[in-house]
Structure 1
């Protein structure tokens, strides 16, 4: 099934999206989004992890 083009434009800067870089407008926005994923910029906060029992025994 063909994918519909996004009428909103680039999710980062709002410029019209490019078919070559879709849904982004350019390689720069595409790379910026990837760097945000790799740098954990999109992480969702969750509950605190329980303390590690191996670290507390010493």
Structure 2
């Protein structure tokens, strides 16, 4: 389900910008997904538990 709101001419200013990265936290690699347009909007999982791109396809 999408929560994006569209006007006749363009997207709303409430648009999301989601990115991902691998980061080191407490000595372990973490796969992190975050909406950088919002505060505290992120999730993480240990890199070894995350799916590879091929597994997502």
**TM-score of the pair, normalised by structure 1:** 0.24
| Greater fraction helix | 1
**TM-score of the pair, normalised by structure 2:** 0.25
The structure with higher relative contact order (CA 8 Å, sep 6+) is 2
